[in-house]
Every structure is written in C-alpha cells, then in structure tokens.
Amino acid sequence: MEEIYTQGVWMAESLQQRTKTQEKVWLTVTHMGDPKAAFLLVFPFTYFINRRAGVAVLWAAAISEWLNLVFKWLLFGERPFWWIGESRLFVNKQPKIHQFPSTCETGPGSPSGHAMVTAAVWWVVVSSLGSFLYSRTHSVLLSAAPYVLYVVMLVAVGISRIFILAHFPHQVVAGSITGFILGIVLSRRVPEGRPLLFFFSLSFGLLFGALMLYAGLKQLGIDLSWSIALAKKWCSHAEWIRLDTAPFSSLTRDCGALLGLGLAQYWKPGGWSLPWAPRALSLAISSMGLYHVNRLPLPVRPQGLFYSLFFVKFVLVPLIVMVLVPGLVHLLTFKKKKD
C-alpha cells in the first residue's frame, strides 16, 4: 500500500507541474463534483426538466453519499495532503506540490465521495437523457453521446481530486465504480409516491444507524476522529478546515434531504404541473433561493447546534424546489391568466 500511495503522490506532482495553466479548470471541476452540488445544482435543474429524474437525482445523491461515509469509516483511507507528512518518506526529496482551499477535507479518503456521488447522480441524468434521445431519434450514435460525456466527466473529476491532493488514484477509481453501480441500482428504485412514514423512517434510520456504527467502532477502540486530527495538523491554512466538510455534515445533509423529499411529496403529491415558461422561472427562483440558503452562516459552536441547523437547511432544499417555489409561480401565473 505504501508503494501505491507513493506513486499517487508523484502522479499528483506531475499533474500540478504539467497542468499549471489549467489550475482554475481543475478547481472548477472539483467544485462541480462536490456532493453538495448534486443537491443544490443538479437536483433543481433536473427536476424542472423531468420530475421523476429530479427525484431520482436527490435519492441517488443522498443514499450514495451516506454509503460513502460508511465505507470511509470502515476502510480508513489516507489522504495525500496529510500522508506526505505522516509517512516521513519525503524528508530528503520533497515533492513540488501545493494545497488549495478545497484540499483540506477532514474525512477519511477511501473511496472518493466526489467520484462516488458524481458517478451515481450523473448516471441517473445521462441514462434518462440517453433514453429520451433514443425514443425521439432512434439514433444509437446520438443516444450514446451522453454516456461518452459521463465517462469524460468522471475522468475529469477524478483528475481534479488527485490534482488538489484530496485523493489517491485508486480511491477515485473505487469511488467511480461504486457510484456507477449504485446509479444503476438506485435509478430503478425511485421512491415516488411513497408515504411520509417511509421517508421519516429512512431518514432517522440512516441517521441513527450511522451513529450506532460510530459508537460501536468507538467501543472497539477505533477513534474515527483520527482523520480530523491529521487534517488539522497538515493543512497549510487553518481557515481551510471547515465544519461543513466533516463526516457528520454529510450525514445530516443526506438525512435532511431525504426527510425533505418525503415532506415535499406529502404536501404536494405529484408536484405542480407547470408549462415550460413557468418551469424555467421556477428553476431560476429556486436556484437563487438555494444559493442564499446555502450561504446562511451557521454557528460552529456547539457542534450539535451546527449539525441540527445543517439538517434543517437540507430539509428545506426539496421543499423549496418541489413545493414552495413552483406553488408561488403557479399562483402568479394562474392569476395572470384569470385576469
């Protein structure tokens, strides 16, 4: 394993040296591959094009990120930005690399969450798009185009994660393969029309299941905060350590989004039926709303309060996209027609 890690470090150095001019591109790609982007960008955009695909995107994002957290707790993967210092293998020959604000994530590194969630979520999107194109054109070549873009996207996200020292190559490959399999499975089991009790039980079941796993591993003497300590120790800028990248943040995001999905479907079964122009308006307003909700500052102390508010923040995401904004647009356009 040490040899694999070492080769990964030299690969990251080579990427940084050879693609210096593309630094902004890789940083943009890694932000687009952030699991948070699946909830705040991909979900609303997809939902207002195709309701079922939008629900499937949110479903795949939440379940794949939750499973990624569990895998990380069990696999104990290192991250390059701290392993370089901890290994003490580069005392005589330091690699010519540097960190970025997105580098210093605090969870374990294996498998890559960016790659895993991106692979699961975008499989839902491209498979829906590919099926749509084939049904309209009956062209195998044209319907295959989204799948080609899917592979290109996964490769780009993987390279960006290696470039910024967040992951080793094998972690990216493992995340991509796992996410691809999850995307296929989850896209076939979209929870449309399920009762609120299903989502309530699922949300709190996943929450307490993860907490029980955490407590159980702690009882066995396994300190799951080891990665947080290493991230704080080796991150080149203390302000780059953010609580919203911690493992419990992803847990509360996933469980909150699933509960919000259940509430949205309970309050407005079937969603709002809107023509294309009101849908486009709904997308624009929803995007602005989610932008401001995401930017709401949360108190980081006590941490329990932060995670509770973070949970509530992502409960609001499906409600804003599926109920509140489309309902408001429907009300406004209905009045206009009546007049």
Q: What is the pLDDT of residues 243-298, one digit of tens each?
A: 988 899 999 999 999 999 999 999 998 888 889 999 999 999 999 999 999 999 99
Percent of the chain with pLDDT over 90: 83
Strand ranges in 114-248 using DSSP code E only, listed in sequence order: none
Catalytic residue among 98, 114, 138, 330: 114
> 263 vs 335, which has greater pLDDT?
263
Q: Rounded to an integer, what is the distance from CA 321 to the centroid of its chain?
A: 17
User: Does residue 170 have an active-site annotation?
Assistant: no
Given a cut of 60, whether residue 153 has pLDDT beyond it is yes
CA dihedral sign of residues 193, 194, 199, 200: positive
**Weakest-pLDDT range from 2-11, 172-181, 197-206:** 2-11
How confident is residue 76, by pLDDT bands cut at 50, 70 and 90? confident
Report how far residue 42's alpha carbon sits from residue 58's, in angstroms, rounded to the nearest whole number: 9
| Contact predicate 276/49, CB 8 Å | no
Known binder of ligand: residue 79?
yes
* Chain mean pLDDT for the chain: 93
Q: What is the mean pLDDT of residues 180-190?
A: 95
User: Does residue 138 have an active-site annotation?
Assistant: no
CA dihedral sign of residues 28, 32, 37, 40: positive
| Contact predicate 16/97, CB 8 Å | yes
Q: For residue range 216-233, what is the model confidence (pLDDT) as tens digits?
A: 999 999 888 899 999 999
How confident is residue 305, by pLDDT bands cut at 50, 70 and 90? very high
DSSP state of 91: S
Q: Is 193 helix (H, G, I), strand (E, B) or coil?
A: coil
Q: Which residue has the tokens 């449309």?
A: 192
pLDDT for 2: 82
Known binder of ligand: residue 161?
yes
HSE, side-chain direction, 13 A CA sphere, residue 158? 23
Catalytic residue among 138, 167, 170, 237: 167
Q: Give a three-class secondary structure readout of 278-314.
A: HHHHHHHHHHHHHHHHHHCCCCCCCHHHHHHHHHHHH
Record the pTM.
Answer: 0.94
Q: What is the mean pLDDT of residues 195-205?
A: 97
Report how far residue 184's alpha carbon sits from residue 133's, in angstroms, rounded to the nearest whole number: 18
pLDDT for 193: 86
Q: What is the mean pLDDT of residues 65-83?
A: 95
Q: What is the mean pLDDT of residues 174-182?
A: 97
